[in-house]
Amino acid sequence: MDSSNPVHARRPRLGVFKLASCDGCQLTLLDCEDELLAVAQAVDIVHFPEASSSLMPEGPFDVVLVEGSLSTSEQLEQLHRIRKNARALVTIGACATAGGIQALRNFADHAEFARAVYARPDMLPILAKSTPVAEHVSVDFELRGCPIDKRQLIELIAAMLVGRAPVIPNESVCMECKRRGAVCVVVTKNQACLGPVTHAGCGAICPAFARGCYGCFGPRERPNTRALAQHMRAQGLTGREIARSFRLFTAYAPEFREESERHES
């Protein structure tokens, strides 16, 4: 984009950044095939390494999308620079909002992993834990998912452009399951499903394909994880199986972390 063009100069300046992550959430933006041209015309994308070789990491930005968790001291320094240069900061995906799959190391002896993999682990600038962005800087909105859902991303961008709050309901996957007409896998197959405590957004993909939700969108607001765990016990799951159910892509989200720790043995 040519930001020297006086028409383009009035458009909001967008930056897209990656910390510790797999790039899947950034790809969701590129995957918005029908909407991408409109987005590119509505905003000035000044920094998006995955899509452009023209980089401007220092901004300034009206909005930044940040993917990934904090795993190294370099990423922490980068995050503070991003926050300083951005008017609004939005985290995208399970890594940025809950620490991601890499946060599983927080439950184990990370130094032992590093010794097993690297010849000189002492040279790695690794932080003691892999943590979500909001543990370090203020965040204006969190978009969930592994990866994020493109309809929610477009809604977020559209809302930001006109200065309104995004319409992203904080309801459970069960609500989407019902709207989709999917058959409940708990009721009909006695499968374990995190749908009742998981934030909606995916359209209930897994139950629609006859398997339980494993919580990749993270906990919904005020999730009743205790009641769900009790139901899992009644279904015949062991404490270890319940702990593992809550310990996947969003294991370090406080509500799922606490429930998994209750069932560790």
Nearer to ligand SF4, 132 or 145 (CB): 145
Closest residue to ligand SF4: CB criterion? 195
**188-227 footprint of ligand SF4 as x/- string (CB under 6 A):** -----x-xx-x---x-xxxx----xxxxxx----------
| Nearest alpha-carbon partner for 32 in 186, 154, 201 | 154
List strand residue ranges (DSSP E) for 113-209, in order: 126-131, 141-143
Burial of 7 (0-12, 13-18, 19+ CB in 10 A): exposed
- Within residues 146-185, the interface with ligand SF4 by CB under 6 A covers 173-174, 177, 182, 184-185
246 near ligand SF4, judged by CB under 6 A:
no
Q: Which sign, positive or negative, has the C-alpha torsion 106, 72, 118, 248?
A: positive
Work out how close the CB of 254 gets to ligand SF4 at its nearest, in angstroms, rounded to a whole number. 18
186 near ligand SF4, judged by CB under 6 A:
yes
Residue 127: strand pairing partners: none
Nearer to ligand SF4, 156 or 206 (CB): 206
Residue 165: C-alpha distances to residues 86, 96, 140, 151 (Å): 18, 20, 11, 15
Work out how close the CB of 188 gets to ligand SF4 at its nearest, in angstroms, rounded to a whole number. 8
- Give the DSSP H or E segment for 71: strand 70-72
- Where does this chain bind ligand SF4 (CB under 6 A)? 173-174, 177, 182, 184-186, 193, 195-196, 198, 202, 204-207, 212-217
